[in-house]
Structure 1
Amino acid sequence: MATAEEVSMEAPICLVEKRNEKLMVNQQALDVLISITKPVVVVTIIGKDHTGKSYLMNRLSGKNTVYSRDPIVQSQTKSIWMWCVDHPSEHDHVLVLLETKGLGHVEKADSKNDLWIFALAILLSSTFVYNTVNDWDLEQMHYVKEVTKLMEVNSFLNDDDEDNSYLQEYIHHFFPDLVWVMHKFTEKFHLLICPISPDECLENVLKFRTGKDINESKANLSRECIRRVFIKRKCFQFVLPAKRKIQLSYSDYIQESEMVPAFKHQADNFCSYIFSNAKPKRFIDNIMINGNRLGKLLEIYVNAISSRSDLLLNNTMLALAQTENSAAVHKATNHYIEQMVLKVNYPMDTLQDLEKLHTDCEKEAISIFQKHSFRNDRNKFWKELMKILENQKNDFILRNEEESTKYCQTKLENLSQTLRKAISQGTFSVPGGYKLYKEEREKMINNYHQEPRKGIKAEDVLQRYLQSLTMTEASILQTDQALTDQEKALEAERVKREAAEKEKKRLEQQQMEMQQKMEAQQRNYEVNTNQLKKKMEEDRIQILRKQEMILHHKLKEQERLMNERFCEEAEKMKRQMEHLQTKIKEIENKGSSWWSTVLQTVGIVLMVLLPGTGKLIGLGMMALGKWTSK
C-alpha cells in the first residue's frame, strides 16, 4: 500500500499535452499515478483560462494562501495538469485533481484537440467541475454531445433502439457528477441571477428554449445531453473575491486579507461539498479504481485517440477487462500458492487433509478473483483460473507424495540397519533362523508404524520394501533345516497368503485414495457452484437496480417534458420507459436462465478437469443446465 508521503505532491505536473499534433502522456506524471494503490477520487476542473480554475485547484489541494494566476497558465499547449494529494477526510483514498489548460483560446483555436481534452477530462473524472464567469456559458459544454458520439452511445441518448440495454447499463460508469461553478464578475450580473437557489437556477438554465434560432437549437441539444448524462448536478455561485475593482481574468494577485468574507465562505462551502460528496472513481461492475488502474485507463484512451481519433466504449472496456481479468487470475493464483505453501506441512498424513486445505485456499482465491475481475469475459478467465488451481493442487499432491516417499524411505533405511546387518552376517542361516528373522522383521515394522507423520505413502513404501526382501526370506526359509517339509510347505503358503493380503491392502488403499479425490472434487464443485451462483445473482440485482434508477430518471424527465408541453418528446420518453420496464421484467425473470448457463459452464469445466466419474458428473450438470433453461 502506498503511503501518504509517496503520493503527495508539492505542485501540479503536466499529465497530458499536445505534442507533434498528438496527445501524449507525460511518463513522469504517469509513474506517479500508477504508483498509487489506494482508491482515487478524481476531480477535474475545466473551463476557459484565467477564470479561477487554478484557485479552486489550490484550495482543494490545501494551498489556499494566495488567489493568483498560476504561471503555468502561460503554457503554449493544450494540456491536462495533475495534482495528487491525500484526501483530507477519507484517509484510505487519494484526491487526484486535474485541470485543463489552453481550452477556448482564440489564438490556439483547435476544436478537435479541445474535444479530445474535454473527452479525457470527462472519462477520467468522478466529479466534473465546469468553471464559468458572468454567464451560463454553454459554448464548451456542447462537447458533451460530441463525447457521446466518440463513445458510440448516441443510440442510448436519442432513440428507442432495443439493442442498447448494454450501453444503458454502463453509461453512468463513464460520466461523472457535474458541479457548475459561476463567478459573478460584473455589476450587471444580478440581471442573470434567479431569485432561487443556485441548483434551481442551473436547472432553469438547462430547460428547453423555444424559438427557431439555430444557435438556440444547438444550445437545446447541449442542455438535453447534459441532463441525460450528468444525473447528479450541483451549482455554486461565487461573489467578487475582493472589494477593489479587478479584471475578469484574475490577473491580479489577491491576498487572503483582501478577500471578502462572503467569497471565502463560498469557497469553503465548495471545498466541503467536494470533500464530502465527490466519490471514488469506479468502473464497470462497480469496481473501485486506484491510481494504477486510472493510469491504464488514461493510456487506453490516449492510444485510442492517437490511432483512430475516437473512443470506443466497448473496446475500452474489453481492453481494460483483458488486462484486469488477467491480473485478477494472477493475483488469485499467487494468493492460492502463498496460502498453500504456508499451510501445507509436508508430508500430510491423508489426502483428505490436503484436499481440505485446497478447498479453503481455492475459495479465498475465487473471492479475490471475483473482487478484482470485470464482468467482460469473466467466465473465460474463471475457467482459466480453475484449470490453473487444479494443476497447482495436483502439483501439491505430487510433491506431498514425493516428500512422504522420501521421508519413509529414510526412516526404513535407518530402522532396517539391524536386520540387514544380521542377514549379511548369516545370523539367520541356522536351525530356527527363519523364526528369528520374522521376529526381527516384525520388530522393525512395529517401530516403523510408531513413527509419526509419515504421510500418505507410508504403507506403499513399506510394502515395496518388504517385497524387496522376498527372495531373502525364501533363501532363509530354505536353509532353515529345523522345519519339516510339511512345516515348510505351510509356511510357504502362509508367506504367499500374507503377500496376497498385503497386495490386496495396497490396492484397497489406492482405491480409497481415488475415492477421496473424487469426493473432494465433488465438494469443491458444490462450493464453487454456490459461489458463482451467488455472484451471478448479485450481478443481476445490481443491473436491476441500475435499470430502475434509469427508469426513475426517465420518469422525472417525462414529467418535466409534459410540464413544459413538449408532448412529442414526452411520448418518446414514454416509449423508452415502456421498453425499459420490459427489460426490467426480463432481468427479474432472468435468474433461472442465468443459473442454467452456470450449470452448463461448470459441467464443461468438470468435463475438462475431472477424470473418470468426474466426467459423468460434468455431463450430468450440462444436461441439468439445458433442462433448466427450457
Structure 2
Amino acid sequence: MAPIPKISEAICLIENNGDSLSVKEEAKKILENISQPLVVVSIVGPYLSGKSYLMNKLSGDSKCGFSLGHTYDAKTKGIWMQCVPHPNKSGHTLILLDTEGTGNVTKGNVQNDHMILSLAMLMSSAVIYNSTTAINQDAVKKLYSMTETHQDITHRASKQNGQDVPTKDQDPMLPILVWTLRDVTLKLEMNGQPVTADEYLEKSLQDITSAKTPRTKEQNRARKTIRDFFPQRKCFVFDLPSSDKAILSMMDQVSEDKLQSRFVEETKDFCQFILEKVPPKQLKGGTPVTGSRFAYLLQSYLDVVKNHDIGFLDSSMSAMFVNENRKEIQRSIESYENKMLSRHVNNHEEFQQAHKATVEEIMQDFKKLCVKHEKSLEEYKEELKNGLQNKKDEIWKKCEETSEQSCKEIMEKLKSNLVQNIKGKKYHVAGGHKIFVTDRDSIIQEYDQKQDKGVKAEDVRQQFLSSLEDVEKIILKTDQEMSASKPMIFQLTDKSDPTQLSQYIQSYRLPAGPFSRILIQLFGFAGHGKSSFVNSCLYASGSGRFHDYAGEAACLGGKTIDRRGYKLTENITIVDNRGFSTMDSAQEWEIYAQLSNCVPLNEFVTWGKSQDERVNLVIKRANEDTTDVIVPVLIYSSQQSLNGEEHENIKKFLKQAHSITRILPFVVLTKSKMGNGASLKDKFLKMGMEKVYCIENYTMSDQLAIRSKHLNILTILYDILDYANYHLNTKSNALNKQEIASILMNKVRMIN
C-alpha cells in the first residue's frame, strides 16, 4: 500500500464561499495517493466550542494540526482535513475532518450550515457532535436540524424504491454518533439518581410521554430521528479544562500539566474510544473506502447534499467500481503477460500448460481484488478471460517470432561448412553421399543439443532438412554413378593396414537377399564405455575427425538413457543401447527387448513395463517389414572385476544373446591399459566367447589419432562383418522374425 503523503499542517478539503461549497484540488490529490482503507472521523457543533482541540488530540499533533480560535472570530471555514497513519489499525489511514462551526452570527446562512454538516455525516465513519454544558432541548434540536438534509435524502431514495419508511439498514453510510459535552460543571444526575454519560445521552433522547401537544410530538419526532439515524451512540462528558481564562485562550500552547487532571483523563478516554472502536469507512456491500476512492466520491457527496438525491452517490460509486475493476482487469492482463514471458516453453503443448496454470492463478487473484457491486463478478471474469485470450495470442506470436529468429541464427552458424562443401561440390564424388549424410546428421545432432531454442525449434529443423532434399538427390545420384564401375567390396590384401580396413568397411555391401542392414548392438553396464566406443568406431572408420557424436559419460554413472543408432555406412549401423545397472530380472526384459529391436531406435528407454505392454511390443516387432542382421557386442571396462553373481548373469546374457541372434557375441574390454584386461579376457574365453578384444577408446580428452588404436577398432569391425557374412551364408542357422518373437514371448512369461 502507498505510504501516507506527508502533510505539514491541516488542509482545506471543502471550501465554503458563503453560497456554495467546492472540493479543493490540492486536498483531493493528497487523498488520491492513499491506497489504504480510511477511518474518517468528523466533528460538528457550535463555533468556539473547542472542536479543533479534540481533533488535534486525536491526530497527536497540536502544532501542525487544526487552528484553534483564541477570539470570537471563528477560524475554521468549510471542512478542513488532517491525514495521519492510524495508531491502532495497521495499514489504515486516519482522516480527521474539522467542520465550520454552527451558530456564527456573522454568517446568517442556515442552509449553508446544514449542507456542511450533512456532508460531514455522509463522509464519516463517526461524527462527533460537540456541545456545551448540558444535553437540553436546544442541543437536541440543533443536532436534529443537522440530520434533516440526510433524512430528506434517505426519504426520497426510499420513495423511489417503493418503500414508505426508510430504515437504518438501508443506509450503509450511517456513522457512529459520539456526543461530547464540554465544560460541564454540574453532577450527572437525572431524577435525583446518578447516571453514566451514556445513560444520560440515552435518557435525553427518549420520547417525552407526559404530553401529546404538537410541540412535544415534534420534539419526539426529532429524538426518534436522531436515534434512527445514529443506531450506535456514545457520550463523553468533559469538565472545564481550567478556571484560568488565559490558559483557556491558548490551550494549544500549554502543556497538559496546566490543565485540570480530570479533563486530561476524560480527553484520553475519548481518544482511546475513537481510535479503538470507530471502524473503517465502508460503502455498499462492505467495500472499504480507500483514499483514492474517497477522492473519487468527493464531488458526488457534494452533489448529494446540494440536490437532496442519493442517486448521485450511487451512480458515482457504480462508475468508480467499474473503473477500478477495469483497471484491475488490465493489471491482471499485464501480470499474465509478465508471468508467461518469464516461462520458457519448447512447444505448443508446454505453452498451453503454462497458459492454463497462469490463468488459474490470475483468476484467483482477480476474484479476491474485484470490487462487488450491481455488475456481477461473472461479467468481469468473462471480460478478463477475453482479454487474456487476446494477450495469449499475442504472446504465442511473439514466442514464435523470437524462437524462429534464434533457431535460424543457430542453424546458420552450424550449417556454414556444409553449405561451403556443397558449393565446392566436395560431396559429388564416389562415396560422397555417406560423407554428406554424416555431416548433415552431425549438424542436426549439435542443433538438437542446443538448449532453450523455443517453440519453433522443430520447424526450423525441418526447414533445414527440407532445403537439402533436392541437393541430396543429386549427390546420391552422382555417388551411385561414380561408384557403379568400382567393385562392390574393396579387395583387402593386408589386414594390418588401417587404411585398407577402413576402405573395406566403407565399401561393404550386403549380399543380395532379404536383409537390409547389419545392426551392431552394443550392451553393457552404464559408464563402461559404449558411447566412447561408438565415437571411436565412427572416427576410425573414416569420419575424418573426432566428434562426440554419442555423448561420452564423465564417470561410471553413464549418460545414455535412450537407444541411439549411428550409421557407419549405408549398410552398417552401430547402436548405443541404454546401459544397465544390474543384470537382474528387473532390467532383463528391456535388455532383451533392445537386443531384438522391440524398443525402437532413438526413443527413451524405461526399465520395467507391464506384461501387456511387453506382449504388444513383441507382436509389433513380429509384424514389421524390416530385416536386420543383429550382432551383439558386450562392452565391459577392464577396471571392473567379474566375480560371483555378476559373472553368472553376464554368462547367462551372452548365452541368451547368442540364442536370439544366432551370432556368438563379441566382447570388447575397454580401458585395457589401466585395468586387468588379460585376466578378464581369459574369463570371457572360458565362457565360450571366441572374439574378446582389449582396447583403448578415443575420448574427448584423448582424441589424437594413433595407428594401433585405429587398427584395434577397425579389426573389431572387420571381424563383425566377417561373422555377419558367415551368418548370412548359413541360412539354416538364421532365425526369422516369428522365431525371435516366440523366444521373446517365452521370456515375457518367465520374467512375469
Match of 2:310 in 1: 311
Q: Partners in 2 of 1:158 and 1:448 — Cα distance? A: 73
Q: Which of 121, 125, 146 lines up with 2:149 in the alignment?
A: 146
Contact 2:140/2:222, CA 8 A, preserved across alignment: yes
Displacement of 1:199 in angstroms is 1.6
Contact 1:134/1:189, CA 8 A, preserved across alignment: no
Q: 1:253 to 1:68 in 2, by over 3 A?
A: farther
Match of 2:447 in 1: 448
Q: 1:140 to 1:34 in 2, by over 3 A?
A: farther
Match of 1:392 in 2: 391
Cα deviation code 1:541-594 (max 9, x no counterpart): xxxxxxxxxxxxxxxxxxxxxxxxxxxxxxxxxxxxxxxxxxxxxxxxxxxxxx
Match of 1:430 in 2: 429
Q: 1:21 to 1:404 in 2, by over 3 A?
A: same
Match of 1:288 in 2: 288
Q: Partners in 2 of 1:468 and 1:415 — Cα distance? A: 15
Contact 1:284/1:375, CA 8 A, preserved across alignment: no
Q: For 1:215-364, what aligned pairs fall within 5 Å after superposition?
A: 215-243=215-243, 255=254, 256-303=256-303, 308=307, 310-312=309-311, 313-341=313-341, 343-345=342-344, 348-364=345-361
Contact 2:11/2:27, CA 8 A, preserved across alignment: yes
Question: Per the alignment, in what secondary structure is the counterpart of residue 171 of structure 2?
Answer: helix
Displacement of 1:15 in angstroms is 0.8
> RMSD between aligned alpha carbons?
3.5
Q: Partners in 2 of 1:267 and 1:77 — Cα distance? A: 21
Structure 2 alignment gaps of length 5 or more: 486-508, 510-752
Displacement of 1:236 in angstroms is 0.9
Q: Partners in 1 of 2:240 and 2:66 — Cα distance? A: 12
> Are 1:89 and 2:117 matched, yes or no?
no
Identity value in percent: 31
Contact 1:78/1:114, CA 8 A, preserved across alignment: no
Cα deviation code 1:101-142 (max 9, x no counterpart): 143334423343223212221121112111111232123332
Displacement of 1:457 in angstroms is 1.8
Letter in 1 for 2:84: V
Question: Per the alignment, in what secondary structure is the counterpart of residue 109 of structure 1?
Answer: coil
Question: Per the alignment, in what secondary structure is the counterpart of residue 175 of structure 1?
Answer: coil
Contact 2:48/2:101, CA 8 A, preserved across alignment: no
Letter in 2 for 1:85: V
Q: 1:68 to 1:358 in 2, by over 3 A?
A: closer
Displacement of 1:414 in angstroms is 1.4
Contact 1:300/1:319, CA 8 A, preserved across alignment: no
Contact 1:15/1:30, CA 8 A, preserved across alignment: yes
Letter in 2 for 1:468: S
Displacement of 1:385 in angstroms is 1.7
Displacement of 1:80 in angstroms is 0.5
Give the TM-score of the pair, scaled to structure 2.
Answer: 0.57
Q: For 1:110-125, what aligned pairs fall within 5 Å after superposition?
A: 110-125=109-124
Q: Partners in 2 of 1:25 and 1:322 — Cα distance? A: 23
> Are 1:421 and 2:420 matched, yes or no?
yes
Match of 2:521 in 1: none
Cα deviation code 1:486-511 (max 9, x no counterpart): x9xxxxxxxxxxxxxxxxxxxxxxxx
Letter in 2 for 1:149: D
Letter in 2 for 1:284: K
Cα deviation code 1:367-423 (max 9, x no counterpart): 443344322224333322221122222222221222221222112111111221111
Letter in 2 for 1:354: F
Cα deviation code 1:310-331 (max 9, x no counterpart): 3324223213212322232233
Q: Partners in 1 of 2:194 and 2:270 — Cα distance? A: 20
Q: 1:186 to 1:365 in 2, by over 3 A?
A: same
Q: Which of 357, 363, 366 lines up with 2:363 in the alignment?
A: 366
Question: Per the alignment, in what secondary structure is the counterpart of residue 202 of structure 1?
Answer: helix
Question: Per the alignment, in what secondary structure is the counterpart of residue 236 of structure 1?
Answer: strand
Question: Per the alignment, in what secondary structure is the counterpart of residue 99 of structure 1?
Answer: strand
Q: For 1:469-508, what aligned pairs fall within 5 Å after superposition?
A: 469-480=468-479, 481-482=481-482
Q: 1:316 to 1:170 in 2, by over 3 A?
A: farther
Contact 1:127/1:176, CA 8 A, preserved across alignment: yes
Q: 1:305 to 1:477 in 2, by over 3 A?
A: farther
Question: Per the alignment, in what secondary structure is the counterpart of residue 140 of structure 2?
Answer: coil
Displacement of 1:57 in angstroms is 1.0
Q: For 1:589-600, what aligned pairs fall within 5 Å after superposition?
A: none
Considering Cα pairs closer than 8 Å and 6+ residues apart, tell me whether 1 or 2 has the greater RCO. Answer: 1
Match of 2:37 in 1: 39
Cα deviation code 1:201-234 (max 9, x no counterpart): 2222222223334443333333333333433221
Q: 1:325 to 1:74 in 2, by over 3 A?
A: farther
Match of 2:27 in 1: 29
Cα deviation code 1:436-479 (max 9, x no counterpart): 32222222222222222222221122112222222222332343
Displacement of 1:269 in angstroms is 0.5
Structure 1 alignment gaps of length 5 or more: 488-630
Contact 2:149/2:308, CA 8 A, preserved across alignment: no
Letter in 2 for 1:471: D
Match of 1:48 in 2: 46
Match of 1:58 in 2: 56
Contact 2:157/2:309, CA 8 A, preserved across alignment: no
Letter in 2 for 1:410: E
Question: Per the alignment, in what secondary structure is the counterpart of residue 194 of structure 2?
Answer: coil
Displacement of 1:302 in angstroms is 2.6
Q: Partners in 1 of 2:321 and 2:149 — Cα distance? A: 25
Q: Partners in 2 of 1:269 and 1:77 — Cα distance? A: 25
Displacement of 1:251 in angstroms is 5.4
Question: Per the alignment, in what secondary structure is the counterpart of residue 422 of structure 1?
Answer: helix
Q: Partners in 1 of 2:71 and 2:464 — Cα distance? A: 82
Q: Partners in 1 of 2:156 and 2:483 — Cα distance? A: 97
Match of 2:408 in 1: 409
Q: For 1:455-604, what aligned pairs fall within 5 Å after superposition?
A: 455-480=454-479, 481-482=481-482
Cα deviation code 1:8-43 (max 9, x no counterpart): x34322110223732111122222222223322211
Cα deviation code 1:594-619 (max 9, x no counterpart): xxxxxxxxxxxxxxxxxxxxxxxxxx
Q: Partners in 2 of 1:193 and 1:105 — Cα distance? A: 36
Q: Count how many residue pairs are aligned between Structure 1 and Structure 2.
A: 474
Q: 1:225 to 1:423 in 2, by over 3 A?
A: same
Displacement of 1:301 in angstroms is 2.0
Structure of greater Rg: 2
Q: 1:193 to 1:179 in 2, by over 3 A?
A: farther
Q: 1:170 to 1:457 in 2, by over 3 A?
A: farther
